[in-house]
């Protein structure tokens, strides 16, 4: 078959992700698709994958993606005539200590929240289900009956046949050598068999995805790691339908295969490949058996399944697998290129993800936006620092080593730090700051009192910072604190048409007079919230945009992609400005000590921006709050940040000013009911469902992205609504995804949770769902409980802030 001269969509890579994407493009969208594979289908990492298929993740959307994979694999053979090797054996996850058991109780709650069946079973039940297992050290296990296993090569071939049946063309032995480009757009794919013109490229090249992306100027932050497993000779007494086993405290996994066991693991000392490019001829490449490195898994496996001591090894697989710096896979539109999408970096669960990833990626390609909230896997979660291959390798190895460690809440990565620091880093260390990291930036999470170790001690209960953070929280409520928020992402939008262009992108009215601030969202075509940020109008043709640290690449790309043509430009100026947030009832008193500007309420009202002088620097002051107290964000030229901080600390000494960290910020905002993007508000949620309809310019009749979806929904009852909940029990630790019960029936789950120190209660937020509509009467008419780590606690619902000092205190 001769390579065509043109195709609408070219998919690169014939592993399970590429074949699934081509299949869904052809089946669901009738798209003209050509798939190119440099070797044979399944070559790369698909052919040597272990084939375990799990479904539960901490994200509802990703769990839905994995559940879709299972549903697809169940029925694919009937469509294509090619078997997939799918077996719904269920999966047992073993726990040998109380922290792991608490993790499983939380996972069981998450499963219930997401509509999945998961049970917690005793060691005796584990022994009954898996008689060959040693269970003496077990506390118990979780049991997911719908998990299973499949044959990676068989699934891929079945998907490829299905893609062909629906019109896709697949070419093997065709290597991509480069791209024809027009600006930031690919116009053609150069191959070993000639060039093929195209409109869209989907990079599913597996471990080669990084170098394929680099040909178009795109960074795909992957690191290949040697991943080993063995296939044993038949094990006497092993049932053919034996459940797959994950034994994370021993860092190993098992599945039955042809009467024997497949056994592998995730070691804390992984073996990364060099950071250079992967050779093109590695399609079916394996490394030499490395029993010295693998011995740590063998010892643990034989202790768990003693029968392994008497069984020979049929084969060892030691192959390269692509992993990512945060353990999540990579999907979506590459920010550096107008028409390349990526599906790669599946962290050894590409088989579990493959069906669903191909489904959502195909939809994303065809519609230009993700069909659901896929932020945790969006390629735009990365930034420029991810071009540093050594940093990516180090962080990826740490993530690999954590694959089976206990998932403590609020745990921070340690490798590659510090990467980016504000000018206050050393000053805040002297104040005994304990730092976390967000998109490379070091940020103080809390400050340790004298006599206490300045470090996090992780646990499943209240962690060591709980009391110090409470003191910081109280200080902001009662006096004044200063937060270093220099890591905020910041953009400048300029041009004669800037106001009209932003008005077309944002749901809020950003066309207010110069000197005014607007909190606004950018919506997708479904009316879901893609970004939320603050827009300050500095002049008729100049705007200053501020958004969250982690959303820097995503929000810039979203806005830039959707700006109408005209005299308008957007640029990232994050490193130009430091940010000091001065918050608390004494904030005005402190600010008046360090500037001659009029900072009275009449001279500087809420929702305004002014340039004021502090310590010889011209400071961009934004009168806004995220903690529910009087305050300003002081945006300072980066080089002057230290001097302005010193001036505030000196001028505020009489008011008791002190630095405050992000953990206190989180508890303060929870009490006040402020939403956080990526948890409380997402692309799945509209402003009206989120209780943010007041921020949308519906009454103006001016067009903006998402307006049509909101208009179409007007008049119909909302099927879900955002609400807050409090618990009186001091031992209930809320971390998010806890199930909401109304009159005993599940109606949703928490999107975020924490503790409100002022009100002395745990606080959580989430969406209450009801197909018949969620009215105020429905919300207030029920009896509520929260399921926390599988325990049920009485809860009180709240439809407004749990803490409210009154507008006079915040805006006066």
Give SS3 for 752.
strand
Domain ranges of the chain: 6-84+150-223+326-381, 91-147+226-310, 577-656, 684-798
200-210 pLDDT, tens digit each: 999 999 999 99
Q: How far apart are CA 347 and CA 328, in angstroms?
A: 7
- DSSP E strands in 656-772: the ranges are 658-659, 720-727, 739-742, 745-756, 761-769
Domain boundaries 6-84+150-223+326-381, corresponding CATH code: 3.50.50.60
| pLDDT (mean) for 513-538 | 98
Over residues 782-795, the mean pLDDT reads 97
Tally of CB atoms within 10 A around 708? 13
Residue 463: φ, ψ to 5°? -90, 175
Pairing of strands 33-37, 6-12: parallel
Only one residue has tokens 């997402």, namely 682
CATH of domain 577-656: 3.30.1360.120
Mind giving me the DSSP string for 653-704? GGGT-EE--HHHHHHHHHHHT---BTTTB-TT--TTTTT-GGGS-GGG----
Distance CA 339, CA 332 (A): 10
For residue 720, what are the β-bridge partners? Answer: 769
41 burial level (CB within 10 Å; 0-12, 13-18, 19+): buried
State residue 51's pLDDT score: 62
The pLDDT, as a whole number, for residue 489 is 98
Q: What is the pLDDT of residues 414-449, one digit of tens each?
A: 999 999 999 999 999 999 999 999 999 999 999 999
Q: Give me the helix-helix angle, 466-478 and 662-672, nearest 10°.
A: 60
Predicted local distance difference test score (pLDDT) of residue 231? 92
On the question of pLDDT at 189 being above 90, the answer is: yes
Nearest to 661 by CA among 419, 478, 452, 435: 435
Of the options 2.40.30.110, 1.20.1560.10, 3.40.605.10, 2.60.40.10, the CATH number for the domain spanning 684-798: 2.40.30.110
Query: Which positions ≥6 away from 242 have C-beta within 8 Å?
Result: 89, 130, 256
Assess contact for 529 and 544: CB atoms under 8 A.
no
Work out whether strand 658-659 and strand 720-727 pair parallel, antiparallel, or are unpaired: unpaired
Give the count of beta carbons closer than 10 Å to the beta carbon of residue 137: 14
Number of Cα atoms under 13 Å in the Cβ half of residue 158: 23
Per-residue burial over 522-539, b = 16 or more CB atoms within 10 Å of its CB, e = otherwise: bbbebbbbbbbbbbbbbe
pLDDT in tens, 52-81: 777 778 788 998 999 999 899 989 989 999
SS3 at position 654: helix
pLDDT band at 148 (very low <50, low <70, confident <90, very high): confident
Contact 19, 154 (CB under 8 A): no
Tell whether the model's pLDDT for residue 48 goes beyond 60.
no
Contact of 472 with 482, CB cutoff 8 Å: no
From the candidate CATH numbers 3.30.9.10, 3.40.50.10420, 3.40.50.620, 3.40.1190.20, the one assigned to the domain spanning 91-147+226-310: 3.30.9.10
Confidence of residue 806 (pLDDT cuts 50, 70, 90): confident
pLDDT band at 46 (very low <50, low <70, confident <90, very high): low
pLDDT tens string 544-599: 999 999 999 999 999 999 999 999 999 999 999 999 999 999 999 999 999 999 99
Q: Check pLDDT > 70 for residue 49.
A: no
Which tokens go with 242?
């034996």
Q: Is the pLDDT of residue 312 over 80?
A: yes
pLDDT above 80 for 604: yes
More confident residue, 812 or 107: 107
- What pLDDT is attached to residue 280? 82
Whether 45 has a pLDDT exceeding 80, the answer reads no
Residues with Cβ within 8 Å of 256's Cβ and at least 6 positions away in sequence, in order, are 89, 149, 238, 239, 240, 241, 242, 244, 262
């Amino acid at each position: 078959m001769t390579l065509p001269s043109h195709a609408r969509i070219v998919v690169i890579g014939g592993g399970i992700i590429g074949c699934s994407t081509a299949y869904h493009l052809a089946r669901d969208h009738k798209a003209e698709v050509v798939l190119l594979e440099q070797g044979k289908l399944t070559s790369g990492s698909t052919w040597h994958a272990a084939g375990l298929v799990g479904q539960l993740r901490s994200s509802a959307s990703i769990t839905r993606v994995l559940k879709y994979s299972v549903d697809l694999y169940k029925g694919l053979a009937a469509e294509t005539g090619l078997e997939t090797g799918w077996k719904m054996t269920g999966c047992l996850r073993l726990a040998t200590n109380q922290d792991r058991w608490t993790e499983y109780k939380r996972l069981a709650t998450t499963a219930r929240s997401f509509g999945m069946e998961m049970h917690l079973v005793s060691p005796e039940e584990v022994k009954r289900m898996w008689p060959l297992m040693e269970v003496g050290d077990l506390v118990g296990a979780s049991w997911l009956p719908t998990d299973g296993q499949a044959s990676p090569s068989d699934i891929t071939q079945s998907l490829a046949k299905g893609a062909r049946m629906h019109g896709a063309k697949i070419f093997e032995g065709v290597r991509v050598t480069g791209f024809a480009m027009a600006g930031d757009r690919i116009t053609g794919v150069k191959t070993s068999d000639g060039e093929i013109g195209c409109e869209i490229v989907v990079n599913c090249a597996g471990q080669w995805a990084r170098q394929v992306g680099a040909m178009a100027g795109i960074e795909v932050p992957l690191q290949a790691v040697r991943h080993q497993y063995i296939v044993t000779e038949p094990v006497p007494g092993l049932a053919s339908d034996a459940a797959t086993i994950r034994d994370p405290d021993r860092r190993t996994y098992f599945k039955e295969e042809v009467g024997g066991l497949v056994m592998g693991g995730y070691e804390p000392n992984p073996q990364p490949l060099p950071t250079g490019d992967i050779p093109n001829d590695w399609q079916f490449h394996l490394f030499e058996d490395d029993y010295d490195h693998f011995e740590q898994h063998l010892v643990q496996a034989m202790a768990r399944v003693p029968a392994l001591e008497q069984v020979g090894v049929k084969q060892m697989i030691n192959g390269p697998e692509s992993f990512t710096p945060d353990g999540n896979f990579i999907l979506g539109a590459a920010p550096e290129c107008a028409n390349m999408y990526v599906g790669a970096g599946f962290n050894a669960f590409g088989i579990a993800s493959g069906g669903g990833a191909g489904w959502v990626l195909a939809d994303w390609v065809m519609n230009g936006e993700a069909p659901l909230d896929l932020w945790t896997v969006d390629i735009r979660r990365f930034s420029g620092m991810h071009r540093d291959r050594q940093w990516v390798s180090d962080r990826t190895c740490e993530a690999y080593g954590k694959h089976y460690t206990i998932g403590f809440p609020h745990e921070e990565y340690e490798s590659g730090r510090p990467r980016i620091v504000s000018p206050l880093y050393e000053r805040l260390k002297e104040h005994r700051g304990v730092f976390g990291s967000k998109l490379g930036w070091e940020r103080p999470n809390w400050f340790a009192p004298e006599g206490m170790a300045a470090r996090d001690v992780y646990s499943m209960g209240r962690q060591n910072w709980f009391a110090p953070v409470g003191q910081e929280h109280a200080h902001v409520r009662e006096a004044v604190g200063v937060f270093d928020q220099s890591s905020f992402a910041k953009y400048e939008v300029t041009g004669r048409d800037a106001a009209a262009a932003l008005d077309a992108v944002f749901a809020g009215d950003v066309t207010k007079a110069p000197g005014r601030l607007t909190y606004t969202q950018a919506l997708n075509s479904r009316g879901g919230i893609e970004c939320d940020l603050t827009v300050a109008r500095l002049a008729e043709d100049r705007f200053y945009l501020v958004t969250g640290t982690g959303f820097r690449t995503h929000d810039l790309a979203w806005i830039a992609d959707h700006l109408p043509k005209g005299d308008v430009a957007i640029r990232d100026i994050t490193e130009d400005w430091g940010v000091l947030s001065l918050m608390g009832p004494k904030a005005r008193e402190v600010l008046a000590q360090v500037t001659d500007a009029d900072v009275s309420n009449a001279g500087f009202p809420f929702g305004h921006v002014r340039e004021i002088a502090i310590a010889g620097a011209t400071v961009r002051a934004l009168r806004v709050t995220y903690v529910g107290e009087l305050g300003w964000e002081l945006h300072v030229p980066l080089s002057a940040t230290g001097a302005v901080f010193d001036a505030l600390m000196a001028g505020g000494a009489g008011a008791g000013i002190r630095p405050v960290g992000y953990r206190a910020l989180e508890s303060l905002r929870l009490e006040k009911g402020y939403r956080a993007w990526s948890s409380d508000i997402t692309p799945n949620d509209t402003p009206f469902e989120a209780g943010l309809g007041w921020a949308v310019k519906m009454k103006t009749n001016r067009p903006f992205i998402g307006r049509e979806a909101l208009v179409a929904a007007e008049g119909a009852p909302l099927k879900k609504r955002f609400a807050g909940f409090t618990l009186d029990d001091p031992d209930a630790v809320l971390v998010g995804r806890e199930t909401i019960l109304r009159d005993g029936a599940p109606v949703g789950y928490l999107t975020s949770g924490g503790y409100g120190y002022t009100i002395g209660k745990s606080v959580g937020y989430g969406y209450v769902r009801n197909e018949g509509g969620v009215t105020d009467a429905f919300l207030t008419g029920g009896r509520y409980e929260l399921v926390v780590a599988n325990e049920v606690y009485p809860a009180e619902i709240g439809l407004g802030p749990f803490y409210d000092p009154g507008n006079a205190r915040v805006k006066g």
